[in-house]
Amino acid sequence: MLKLENVSMAIGDNTGEAREIITGINLEFKPGKLYAITGPNGGGKTTIAKVIMGIYKNNSGHVLLDGEDISNLSVSERAKKGIAYAFQQPPRFKGLTVPDMLNIARPGLDQVGIRKSLRDVGLCPEDYQDRDVGPGLSGGEMKRIEIAQVLARDARVSIFDEPEAGVDLWTIQRLIGLIIAKYQNSPKSTAIIITHNERVLPICDEIIVVDGGRIDKQGSGAEIWPLIKDDIECKVKLQCRGEIGYEF
Amino acid sequence: MSFKAEDMKLISTITDLTDIPSGAINIRVDGQAVIRNSSPNISVGPNDDGTGLKVEIKAGTRDEAVHVPVIVTKAGFKDKVYNTFIVNEDADVTIIAGCGIHNDSHADSGHDGIHTIIVKKGSHMKYVEKHYGEGSGRGKKILNPTTDITVEDGASAEMELVQIAGVDDTLRSTIARIHENGSLKITERLMTHDDQRAESLIDVYLKGTGGNAQILSRAVARDKSSQVFKAALIGQADALGHLECDAIIMDQAKIQSVPQLVAEDAQAVLTHEAAIGKIAGEQLVKLMSLGLSEEEAVNTIIEGFLK
């Protein structure tokens, strides 16, 4: 089980003052469950994910994995312990191909496994055998390949940071369906999806609403979804009418 | 002819050969040709003044290769060779060159390979030249290749120039002339480390209508090494040229990159891109999030970049 105990993280702002990005976060992520973290932009969702992965270091509190305090472990040490993170905007690499990245994600993955990983995220394997994970790929392709890497890792805790961002509507459904199918009934794995997607939120075992760097609401999908759905649906309608952008 | 294990390892590093192949080959060790064979379509022999090789590929030869690696293993040995390669009409061949130096002494060892290459009408040539140095002595490993290539009408050439590691000092000069509807792609990949110094000068003249040239340079400079890359595309006709130089700089290294475009014809279209930068932190974090250590992540990024 992954546990965050009273976790805070602050950065220095342009006046030199420390500004807390997340404050006093207490969360438990149990195996076999699918969690959604949602909330407004700048609320602290990605920061929580990056603190779990070790990309950001918490200034106070503890990150515990099966009771072990991993707060001081590096990103790679946490990855080896079974935490995986699909970046919201994955970086690009010159000279590393799509199969190279999948092989790094899961050493020893053979051609059959590579092809399956790519097909699962809706990519035709033949088109990606020699292609760099570089500037030649679209944002949507990068996102699918990023998710394929995390799925290939079979990690104990997998975090997907806005898997729908930058992806076409058809693909969103496919990717979300894939993540749900893999994790919803998986007794040993935990999935955390950072999302605003109104189709994902109601079916998650637990919804965590983060706002202003704090936990605003937390509970089962059945409890929390009715409290936030109007807000989310209103925003979706405004997006469809072009009155607001897709980021919120 | 069999080689000592360490010599074969050196040959293998620069040619990817695990054994001596049949067919056209010349292996030069410490200034002497120790293996020289021609094939029915590729003649390998001394040049007219005895200063090096003349390799001639018959017109129409398809899918054949010739290997001409050089190794220097004698302490303080300085080798110089003049080689000519002629790829006659409508051939399609691969030339594997390259040089490896093993130097355990405190005297400098070196090799200057001066190559003239002519790719005749309608032919295609792939030329691969890898450089590598090793050894525990303080003596430098010095490699100074000079290449003059002519790509005739409708011919095409690909040149893959690689400095793997261990070369203390190098001055690489390449001059190319591309004629009507000819095309040339030069890919250069250089790695320097410690106190090494590398200078690469490339001038490509687009002389004929419909000519096409691409120069792609990837460089990594680590430790206190320094690199200078100067490449010029000179458009003298209705032709296309693109120059791209990317470099990763690390530690206390220095890199100078000077792309130059010269248009001497109003129809010439010449472009360039150049970038020097350190490894991005987000790239390191991404690979570390897949379980690599920081050192493994750095090496993976460099290996990929230079691949």
Per-residue pLDDT of B166-178, as tens digits, reads 999 999 999 999 9
Q: Do the domain assignments include residue A11?
A: no
Q: Report the half-sphere exposure of B128 (CA within 13 A, side-chain side).
A: 14
User: What CA–CA distances, in Å, run from A60 to A57, B9, B155?
Assistant: 9, 54, 67
> Residue A81 corresponds to which tokens in the numbers above?
């312990």
> Residue A114 corresponds to which tokens in the numbers above?
């590579």
Which one of A51, A76, A157 makes the best mutation probe of the B interface by having the most chain B beta carbons within 10 Å?
A: A76
Element containing residue B58 per DSSP (H, E): none
Confidence of residue A242 (pLDDT cuts 50, 70, 90): low
CB A140 within 8 A of CB A112: no
Instruction: Report CB contact under 8 Å: A93, B294.
Output: no
| Greatest pairwise CA separation for chain A in angstroms | 54
Q: Do the domain assignments include residue A7?
A: no
- Which amino acid would we find at residue B57? I
Asked if A84 has any chain B CB less than 8 Å from its own CB, the reply is yes
| pLDDT of A239 over the 70 cut | no
**Residue B114 buriedness (CB in 10 A; 0-12 / 13-18 / 19+):** middle
- CATH of residue A170's domain is 3.40.50.300
For A55, nearest residue in chain B (alpha carbons) = B285
- Which amino acid would we find at residue B114? I
Q: For chain B, give the mean pLDDT.
A: 96
Taking contacts as CB-CB distances below 8 angstroms, the residues of chain A near B294 are: 74, 76
Q: What is the ipTM of this complex?
A: 0.91
| pLDDT for the residue numbered A161 | 95
Using CA atoms, how far apart are residues B49 and A134, in angstroms rounded to an integer? Answer: 49
Per-residue pLDDT of B182-228, as tens digits, reads 999 999 999 999 999 999 999 999 999 999 999 999 999 999 999 99
Q: Do the domain assignments include residue A246?
A: no
Domain containing residue A51: 30-61+71-240
User: Taking chain A, what is the end-to-end CA distance rounded to the nearest angstrom?
Assistant: 30
Distance from CA of residue B34 to its chain's centroid? 23
Q: Do the domain assignments include residue A66?
A: no
Using CA atoms, how far apart are residues B10 and B74, in angstroms rounded to an integer? Answer: 13
Confidence of residue B118 (pLDDT cuts 50, 70, 90): very high
| pLDDT of A183 over the 80 cut | yes
| pLDDT for the residue numbered B81 | 96
Q: Do the domain assignments include residue A8?
A: no
What is the pTM assigned to this prediction?
0.85
- Which amino acid would we find at residue A118? L
CB B186 within 8 A of CB B174: yes
Q: Which one is predicted more confidently, B122 or B307?
A: B122
| pLDDT for the residue numbered A248 | 33
- % chain B with pLDDT above 70: 100
Confidence of residue A233 (pLDDT cuts 50, 70, 90): low
Give me the number of domains chain A comprises. 1
Q: Where are the beta strands (DSSP E) in B48-91?
A: 53-57, 62-67, 70-72, 78-87
Cβ contacts from A onto B, under 8 A: 57
Per-residue pLDDT of B156-167, as tens digits, reads 999 999 999 999
| pLDDT of A246 over the 60 cut | no
Instruction: Report CB contact under 8 Å: B291, A95.
Output: no
Using CA atoms, how far apart are residues A15 and A1, in angstroms rounded to an integer? Answer: 39
Taking contacts as CB-CB distances below 8 angstroms, the residues of chain A near B246 are: 94
Q: Do the domain assignments include residue A12?
A: no
Asked if B195 has any chain A CB less than 8 Å from its own CB, the reply is no
CB A16 within 8 A of CB A36: no
Per-residue pLDDT of A55-86, as tens digits, reads 999 999 999 999 999 999 999 999 999 999 99
Classify A151 as helix, strand or coil: helix
Asked if A73 has any chain B CB less than 8 Å from its own CB, the reply is no
Q: Do the domain assignments include residue A9?
A: no
Taking contacts as CB-CB distances below 8 angstroms, the residues of chain A near B216 are: none
CB A156 within 8 A of CB A31: yes
Classify B208 as helix, strand or coil: coil
